[in-house]
């Protein structure tokens, strides 16, 4: 790993744990094992480094989203299973890339005020819009084929995002106390609330390794 990669990696970890204001270039340099002045060979300021890390994480998420939804479309499954797989995949992504996810959630919920618009533009262009579009297509399909109650797709997408955000927040606050059983219960209640009355719930199986 070269010097630039090490700077970005340690900056990501520190920003995820301490946030923008709680992290200094001196702290990053110390973790990398270099002088603070060496960071300026790559970045003009902490703001520039911070935005670089945001773009790096956004690019990873974008690639993950494209790969997952491309695979999902090839399976041609019922909408219930599609949504369940999105739910399970998103939770597993949180576990597998914990530093990235913790950083992403922190900067989107508590962004530095002077960088807020820049952060939102990166988030919207690379992640939020794509995720919203893919979910909208799935929910629209479910409404049209009668699997889901006839409701505005934007409302259904918002409810789904509230579900996953709630579970992720619980994991952030309680860690291992958020069990696979709770994750399964969260999904079961969500699906029961949106499925069409004349559709029987299929067996999606349990969420494991979460």
pLDDT at 146 over 50: yes
Alpha carbon distance 54, 62 (integer Å): 12
pLDDT at 31 over 50: yes
Q: Measured on CA atoms in the order 108, 174, 157, 101, is the torsion positive or negative?
A: positive
**Confidence band for 43, pLDDT divided at 50, 70 and 90:** very high
Alpha carbon distance 100, 61 (integer Å): 9
Q: Give how far the C-alpha of residue 189 lies from the chain's centroid of Cα atoms, to the nearest Å.
A: 21
Query: What is the DSSP track for 161-183?
Result: HHHHHHHHHHHHHHGGGS-HHHH
Cβ proximity of 149 and 196 under 8 Å = yes
Give the number of C-alpha atoms closer than 13 A to the C-alpha of residue 137, restricted to the C-beta side: 11
Which pair of tokens denotes residue 126? Answer: 């690379």
Cβ proximity of 72 and 137 under 8 Å = no
Give the other-Cβ count within 10 Å of 106's Cβ.
17
Overall average pLDDT of the 158-175 stretch: 82
Residue 5 burial class via C-beta count within 10 angstroms: exposed 0-12, middle 13-18, buried 19 and up? exposed
- Could you tell me the pTM of the whole model? 0.82
| pLDDT, position 201 | 45
What domains does the chain contain, in order, with CATH numbers?
1-44 (1.10.10.60), 53-194 (1.10.357)
Cβ proximity of 186 and 163 under 8 Å = yes
**pLDDT tens-digit profile of 49-106?**
999 999 999 988 899 999 999 999 999 999 999 999 999 998 888 778 888 888 988 8
| pLDDT, position 203 | 47
Percentage of residues of the chain with pLDDT beyond 70: 90
Sequence-distant (≥ 6) Cβ neighbours of residue 142 within 8 angstroms: 79, 80, 83, 148
| pLDDT, position 28 | 97
Alpha carbon distance 61, 166 (integer Å): 19
């Amino acid at each position: 790993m070269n010097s630039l990669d090490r700077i970005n990696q340690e900056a990501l970890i520190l920003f995820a744990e301490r946030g923008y204001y709680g992290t200094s270039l001196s702290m990053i340099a110390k973790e990398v094992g270099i002088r603070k002045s060496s960071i300026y060979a790559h970045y003009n300021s902490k703001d520039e480094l911070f935005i670089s890390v945001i773009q790096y994480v956004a690019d990873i998420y974008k690639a993950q989203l494209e790969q997952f939804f491309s695979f999902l479309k090839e399976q041609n499954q019922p909408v219930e299973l599609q949504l369940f797989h999105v739910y399970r995949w998103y939770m597993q992504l949180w576990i597998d890339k914990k530093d990235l996810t913790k950083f992403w959630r922190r900067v989107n919920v508590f962004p530095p005020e002077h960088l807020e618009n820049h952060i939102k533009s990166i988030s919207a262009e690379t992640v939020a819009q794509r995720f919203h579009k893919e979910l909208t297509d799935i929910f629209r399909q479910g409404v049209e084929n009668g699997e889901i109650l006839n409701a505005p797709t934007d409302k259904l997408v918002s409810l789904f995002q509230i579900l996953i955000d709630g579970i992720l927040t619980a994991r952030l606050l309680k860690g291992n106390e958020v069990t696979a059983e709770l994750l399964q219960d969260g999904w079961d209640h969500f699906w029961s609330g949106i499925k069409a009355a004349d559709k029987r719930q299929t067996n999606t199986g349990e969420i494991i390794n979460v």
